[in-house]
């Protein structure tokens, strides 16, 4: 008489594996849930840095040429007080995917918001004054 070997898993083994997976999921899910918020915040901070760099490059071009407007990425950038104006600052960047078109307010402020962000996730660019450089302020509250 042949005794057949057991194939597969016992019920106890399956319950233990499911319990372990449940414990791991309880620790892992909160960590992965916060990654989306951190990613939106990092992208907004990155856009802020890109705008600062682009404004500095446009300023350098303006100093080198002395022109009232400079050409960057095939776009004409208007210069105010030596730096890009609020209406053309977004044209200094090659790619702004994931962000809404800038909202110009007061004639000298551009607000660029992250598309689909649940909270305030934006970069505010304020044109340079007569004796001050432009202001670039990221806001990531509730991003």
pLDDT in tens, the chain (143 residues): 667 776 778 899 999 999 999 998 888 887 777 788 888 999 999 999 999 999 999 999 999 999 999 999 899 999 999 999 999 999 999 889 999 999 999 999 999 999 988 889 999 999 999 999 999 999 998 78
pTM of this structure = 0.77
Q: Which long-range contacts (CB under 8 A, 24 or more apart) does 112-119 make?
A: 112/47, 112/51, 114/40, 114/43, 114/44, 114/143, 117/40, 117/142, 117/143, 118/142, 118/143, 119/143
């Amino acid at each position: 008489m042949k005794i057949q070997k057991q194939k597969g898993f016992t019920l106890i083994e399956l319950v233990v594996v499911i319990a372990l997976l449940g414990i791991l999921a309880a620790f892992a899910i909160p960590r992965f849930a916060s990654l989306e918020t951190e990613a939106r915040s990092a992208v907004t901070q990155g856009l802020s840095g890109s705008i600062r760099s682009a404004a500095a490059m446009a300023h350098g071009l303006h100093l080198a040429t002395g022109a009232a407007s400079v050409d960057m990425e095939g776009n004409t950038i208007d210069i105010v007080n030596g730096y890009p104006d609020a209406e053309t600052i977004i044209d200094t960047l090659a790619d702004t995917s994931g962000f809404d078109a800038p909202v110009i307010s007061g004639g000298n402020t551009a607000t660029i918001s992250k598309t689909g962000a649940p909270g305030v996730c934006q970069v505010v660019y304020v044109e340079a004054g007569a004796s001050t450089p432009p202001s670039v302020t990221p806001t990531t509250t509730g991003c």
